[in-house]
Chain A
Amino acid sequence: MPERLANRLKDRRGELGLTQAELAEKVGVTRKTVNTVENGIFTPSATLAIKLARALDLSVEQLFWIEG
């Protein structure tokens, strides 16, 4: 089974009461990019992963992990 990058973006965003658009604005991308990362369609760059983790007050390892 191929490896994939799983994440808890949606759960964490929900915990903090943020919409996709609000999170996107915090990290300087479009809502579409947050949506694709959240759904596992797009694997973010290291830079974006760090920005997302910071915006959600988690470490990158807590936000993303490898499955498979």
Chain B
Amino acid sequence: MTERSVSERADFLSRRRARTLPALAIIYFAQQATFLSALGNGSHRDVDHFKIGAWVVLSAVLLLALVTKGFWFQPKEIRDLIDDESTRANRLEAMRLGFLFACGAALAAYFIDEFQPLTVGEAAHLVLTFGLGAALIRFGMLERRAHRDA
């Protein structure tokens, strides 16, 4: 078996991230369907607390994957190479869009609260879900485009 060079390994991992992130974001959004349908109820059953706990953990992991170089178990030279300047530019663009979506979700929460009172947790859930989800999808799309040959 031939040994891959650092740049080949970085390229392979970067492609894998470009494929994985949008899929993860869609799963992340899909998981919220039940939460969003019960929005404004305020009370949660035990199973809901478990789901919310899982959502918090998943959100934290996805957020860390987005804002750090990711690939925490890879050697530093690979991690540095994966995080080269086009990747950083794509990440910044994705986070800009995520910020706009988070602001939009905060505005939506404010208006929903006028008709159906929301708890702080529900409002935070809305803001984080839409902000993080939009940023992940955008980052994945930009990375996929970057890998595509002309």
Shortest distance from the beta carbon of B100 to any chain A beta carbon, whole Å: 22
A32-B147 in contact (CB<8A):
yes
A30-B7 in contact (CB<8A):
yes
The answer to whether residues A21 and B147 also contact, given A28-B81, A33-B85, A45-B85 and a CB cut-off of 8 A, is no
A29-B85 in contact (CB<8A):
yes
The answer to whether residues A42 and B11 also contact, given A29-B84, A30-B84 and a CB cut-off of 8 A, is no
Chain A residues touching B, majority SS = helix
Q: How far is the CA of A44 from the CA of B84 in the complex (A)?
A: 11
The reply to whether the CB of A59 lies closer than 8 angstroms to some CB of chain B is no
Q: How far is the CA of A44 from the CA of B147 in the complex (A)?
A: 16
A35-B149 in contact (CB<8A):
yes
Shortest distance from the beta carbon of A13 to any chain B beta carbon, whole Å: 13
Query: Number of residues in B with C-beta < 8 Å to the partner?
Result: 20
Q: How far is the CA of A24 from the CA of B14 in the complex (A)?
A: 14
Of A28, A30, A39, which is within 8 A of B14 by CB? A30
B7-A32 in contact (CB<8A):
no
B7-A24 in contact (CB<8A):
yes
Q: How far is the CA of A39 from the CA of B147 in the complex (A)?
A: 11
Chain B residues touching A, majority SS = helix
Q: How far is the CA of A45 from the CA of B33 in the complex (A)?
A: 42
Q: List CB contacts (< 8 Å) of A3-39 with chain B.
A: 21, 24-25, 28-33, 35-39
The reply to whether the CB of B86 lies closer than 8 angstroms to some CB of chain A is yes
The reply to whether the CB of A48 lies closer than 8 angstroms to some CB of chain B is yes
A42-B146 in contact (CB<8A):
yes
A48-B85 in contact (CB<8A):
yes
Question: Chain B residues near A41 (CB, 8 Å)?
Answer: 145-146
The reply to whether the CB of B150 lies closer than 8 angstroms to some CB of chain A is yes
The answer to whether residues A25 and B150 also contact, given A33-B85, A36-B86 and a CB cut-off of 8 A, is no
Chain A residues within 8 Å of B, Cβ to Cβ: 21, 24-25, 28-33, 35-39, 41-42, 44-45, 48
